[in-house]
């Protein structure tokens, strides 16, 4: 099958022929139907985050089950599924207390063990599986605890977005920050993740929803998806947020880019007792600084991993919200591309001008 391989980083993706093993007892073979390009893949391509290479990238996808291992009962061939990198073991303390996205055993219990054949190979040589999924490929071989069933009427391109960006943005609002109705919210960065956080804030009943980006067309899209105010981040966004909130700041801010400067802005936009949630992946080695005196005002700074999801519960809800018109996903697909166009797709992401490019197979 064809797959996009990262052979060295920093580097581009090479479209190559790779092979998948047959499903182990709890594994599922999926025909990939759609895969979104998320900025996290780009961080790995730019070597801002390390990963053992070569690897088939991609982690935001939907497809159809084609084969299941002998112990799999959750799905059968023909079922439509969304994948999620938040693989859960189901028996560690995090999983048992409802925090499956923080599973402490996923890289031990849900991967192939030493001595077992690799899930992915290229001419007999082992290739690394990426974040339990490796979605930039015509097929995926995954553990059954990385998939959730969805109804067949859900279009696959929109479903794929729920696999990372939508769940991360909505989950950061609903589960990590637990935004209360009537709160004032800022979202910095209006890509696939930030636009999802804006929609989450709208659905949660936030009062002011202030979108910050440096690309004007993104601010227009943010308004269409629920932002009540927009700010161009090039012009002192902290001061502008204070001006929009009678000098007080917001109850909740979300950083959806992955920069030191904007993470610090998110904290400085808070009112007393507020919480800044950094969703963006801050490059390894970078420290975030806050003014110590702000802590006496009970301001909080936290991260969010994949929207603190319980994805087998959350994703079907998001599918329903789309099918009933409350979650807008058609607007978030900027372009459908082929696997061969993947590097151009990531080049476009770097301009900041697109919401999501989605590969359809």
Ligand X SMILES: NC(=O)c1ccc[n+]([C@@H]2O[C@H](COP(=O)([O-])OP(=O)(O)OC[C@H]3O[C@@H](n4cnc5c(N)ncnc54)[C@H](O)[C@@H]3O)[C@@H](O)[C@H]2O)c1
Whether cis (ω within 30° of 0) applies to the bond prior to 10 is yes
Q: Which is nearer to ligand X, 20 or 173 (CB)?
A: 173
Contact 193, 258 (CB under 8 A): no
By the rule CB under 6 A, 38 interacts with ligand X: yes
d(CA 241, CA 231): 8
Closest CA to 257 of 352, 132, 340: 352
The item of ligand X, Zn ion, none sharing an interface with residue 89, based on CB under 5 to 8 Å by kind, is Zn ion
By the rule CB under 6 A, 213 interacts with ligand X: yes
Minimum gap (Å) between residue 256 Cβ and Zn ion: 11
Minimum gap (Å) between residue 258 Cβ and ligand X: 3
Contact 258, 46 (CB under 8 A): no
CA-to-CA dists, residue 143 to 24, 83, 283, 289, 304, angstroms: 9, 10, 28, 39, 23
Minimum gap (Å) between residue 356 Cβ and Zn ion: 10
Closest CA to 336 of 35, 38, 64: 35
Site string for ligand X, 228-267 (x = CB under 6 A): -----x----------------------xxxx--x-----
> What tokens appear for 129 in the block?
């599986």
Q: Which is nearer to Zn ion, 105 or 149 (CB)?
A: 105
Binding to ligand X, residues 282-301 (CB under 6 A): none
Contact 105, 89 (CB under 8 A): yes
Contact 110, 28 (CB under 8 A): no
d(CA 205, CA 195): 16
By the rule CB under 6 A, 222 interacts with ligand X: no
The item of ligand X, Zn ion, none sharing an interface with residue 24, based on CB under 5 to 8 Å by kind, is none
Q: Which is nearer to ligand X, 224 or 295 (CB)?
A: 224
**Cα 162 from chain centroid (whole Å):** 8
By the rule CB under 6 A, 189 interacts with ligand X: yes
The item of ligand X, Zn ion, none sharing an interface with residue 92, based on CB under 5 to 8 Å by kind, is Zn ion
Residue with the shortest CB distance to ligand X? 191
The item of Zn ion, ligand X, none sharing an interface with residue 95, based on CB under 5 to 8 Å by kind, is Zn ion
Q: Which is nearer to Zn ion, 141 or 193 (CB)?
A: 193
Buried b (16+ CB within 10 A) or exposed e, 98-129: ebbbbbebbeebbebeeeeebbbebeeeebbb
By the rule CB under 5 A, 162 interacts with Zn ion: no
d(CA 336, CA 332): 11
By the rule CB under 5 A, 306 interacts with Zn ion: no
Q: Please work out the total of residues on this chain that contact ligand X, with binding judged by CB under 6 A.
A: 33
Minimum gap (Å) between residue 227 Cβ and ligand X: 13
State the residues that interact with Zn ion by CB under 5 A.
38, 40, 89, 92, 95, 103, 105, 164
State the residues that interact with ligand X by CB under 6 A.
38-40, 43, 164-165, 168, 188-194, 212-215, 218, 233, 256-259, 262, 279-281, 304-306, 349, 352
């Amino acid at each position: 099958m064809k797959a996009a391989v990262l052979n060295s980083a920093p580097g581009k993706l090479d479209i190559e022929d790779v092979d998948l093993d047959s499903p182990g007892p709890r594994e599922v073979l999926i025909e990939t139907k759609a895969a979104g390009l998320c900025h996290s893949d780009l961080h790995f391509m730019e070597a801002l985050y390390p990963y053992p290479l070569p690897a088939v990238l991609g982690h935001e996808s939907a497809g159809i089950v084609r084969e299941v291992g002998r112990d799999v009962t959750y799905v059968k061939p023909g079922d439509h599924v969304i994948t999620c990198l938040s693989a859960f073991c189901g028996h560690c303390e995090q999983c048992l207390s409802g925090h499956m996205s923080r599973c402490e055993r996923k890289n031990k219990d849900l991967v192939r063990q030493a001595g077992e054949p690799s899930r992915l190979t290229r001419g007999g040589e082992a290739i690394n599986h990426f974040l339990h999924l490796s979605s930039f490929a015509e097929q995926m071989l995954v553990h059954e605890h990385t998939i959730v069933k969805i109804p067949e009427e859900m279009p696959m391109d929109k479903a794929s977005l729920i696999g990372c960006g939508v769940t991360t943005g909505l989950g950061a609002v609903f589960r990590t920050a637990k935004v209360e109705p009537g709160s004032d919210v800022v979202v910095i960065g209006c890509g696939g993740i930030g636009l999802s956080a804006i929609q989450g804030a709208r659905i949660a009943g936030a009062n002011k929803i202030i979108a910050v980006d440096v690309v004007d067309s993104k601010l227009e899209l943010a308004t269409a998806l629920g932002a009540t105010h927009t700010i161009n981040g090039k012009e002192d966004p902290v001061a502008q947020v204070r001006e929009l909130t009678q000098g007080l700041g917001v109850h909740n801010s979300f950083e959806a880019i992955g920069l030191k400067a904007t993470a610090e802005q998110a904290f400085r936009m808070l009112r007393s007792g507020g919480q800044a949630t950094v969703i963006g992946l801050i490059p390894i080695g970078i420290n975030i600084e806050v003014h110590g005196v702000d802590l006496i005002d009970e301001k909080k700074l936290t991260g969010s991993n994949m929207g603190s999801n319980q994805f087998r519960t959350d994703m079907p809800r998001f599918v329903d919200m789309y099918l009933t018109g409350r979650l807008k996903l058609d607007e978030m697909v900027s372009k459908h591309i082929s696997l061969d166009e993947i590097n151009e797709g990531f080049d476009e992401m770097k301009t900041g001008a697109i919401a999501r490019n989605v590969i359809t197979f």
